[in-house]
Amino acid sequence: MSAGLNLIAADLGASGGRVILGKFNGRTIDIQELNRFSNVPVSANGTLYWDILSLYRGVREGLTAAQSRMDGIDGIGIDGWGNDFALLDRNGRLLAKPVHYRDDRTLGMMEKVFERVPREQIYRQTGIQFMRFNGLYQLFSLFYNNDPITGIIGTFLLIPDLLVYFLTGSKISEFTNATTTQMFSPHSMDWAKDLLGNLGIPGDIFIPAVKPGTAVGGLTRGNACETGLSNAKVIAVAEHDTASAVAATPAEDDGFVYISSGTWSLMGVELKEPVISDLTYRYNFTNEGGACGTFRLLKNVMGLWIIQECRRCWERRGQKYTFAQLEEAASHAAPFRYFIDPDDDVFASPDDMPAGIAGFCRDTGQDPPETAGGYVRCVMESLALKYRFVFERIEKITGKTYNKIHIVGGGVKDRMLCGFTACSTGKG
């Protein structure tokens, strides 16, 4: 990097977004938060949607705030979560709000897909972990159910790509995020159009993926006028948030395992090539694109979503807790009393998360927790032990011994979970 760069990063998460200004002077980066906004899904007529226009407004407000702080911006990048997408018509108009990955439209879709293309064949082509909310099953559900929208699709865009399109008017597909969908082939480095064709999904709605670092273009005239950033260029960064987080891991070698900790926990290693083998298929590991042409061999583990949903449920009942209060209560709860599998389907999108935990405990012969602290400690200990389970499988797959675990993402603020993870794995 050259000296004197002013850069803006818009980082979108499952519960909120933020716009950050980074000033690079040739040696260090000074970071300032420009804007923070919530990301709250909206349920309408039985479908759960992302409020995409609210996110777009939040990004633009951050860009506007940047203009007042300096003379010029050298680059703008957006990252976000994977799999969820928007569909444009042939005139480039948004056909509908993007549907949330926790919506029920994917129920039973994996089995329907496997009736047409064998499960192992899909894995061999894509190298991606099987999860019912993968973009493959979300998109297939529309074609399987003969949704009228399928007849007028012009372009498929993932969420960060859609916001780039709103800002610039240019349609792109970025490599790291494309790989998450289970519709991209690391062998051909292109969309798996044979797989898609066998499922009745037209390949011409997909744009060839570009590498992270590709310049997209300037803001549209309207956006440039509103934000005051007339000369700013948008860059297709590593748009999957985990790809960006791993690229920023404070390590000088590759001898470590990372956990990107937040709503989800993504635990793995970064490699030069994907690992698509009998063992990774059996362990259901995923190979997602990295920031510099690498691949992230990892396992998606349910993360702090479980705590977030418990807190939301308790608040509906009039019991309001801060995260600090919950952690303090958990520190006084009895250790090793209850255990759950965080990845059990019961925790994917329950109406009542504490009831889901209690039900899992009863079904596995355990008495359920009796206090909020007990529930939180149960989740924290269970996550830490699941990390150890995944860590041991990573070492078996790669044939390497790893002495360090780097935790990145919002979950690093959770000292209890970080401490439990260090104790369960024996790694610092």
By annotation, the residues acting in catalysis are 241
Give, in order, the Cα–Cα distances in Å from 419 to each of 151, 374, 392: 52, 17, 18
- 187-210: burial string, b at 16+ Cβ within 10 Å, e else: eeeebbbebbeebebeeebbbebb
Q: Determine whether 177 is exposed, middle or buried from the number of CB atoms within 10 Å of its CB (0-12, 13-18, 19+).
A: buried
Q: Which residues, in sequence order, are bridge partners of residue 168?
A: none
Element (H, E) at 163: helix 159-168
Please check whether residue 33 is in contact with residue 20, taking contact to mean a CB–CB distance below 8 angstroms.
yes
Q: What are the structure tokens assigned to 227, written together? A: 């934000």
> Is residue 228 left, alpha or beta, with left meaning phi > 0 and alpha meaning psi from -120 to 50?
left
Closest CA to 221 of 232, 212, 230: 230
Please check whether residue 209 is in contact with residue 174, taking contact to mean a CB–CB distance below 8 angstroms.
yes
Rounded distance between C-alpha atoms, residue 322 and residue 52, angstroms: 27
E strand segments, 160-255: 173-174, 184-185, 190-191, 209-210, 214-218, 233-236
Rounded distance between C-alpha atoms, residue 331 and residue 203, angstroms: 52
Rounded distance between C-alpha atoms, residue 344 and residue 259, angstroms: 19
Closest CA to 211 of 261, 173, 175: 175
Give, in order, the Cα–Cα distances in Å from 1 to each of 6, 28, 30, 37, 298: 11, 11, 15, 30, 29
Rounded distance between C-alpha atoms, residue 23 and residue 200, angstroms: 47
**What does the DSSP assignment read for 268-284?**
EEEESS---SHHHHHHT
Rounded distance between C-alpha atoms, residue 51 and residue 44, angstroms: 11
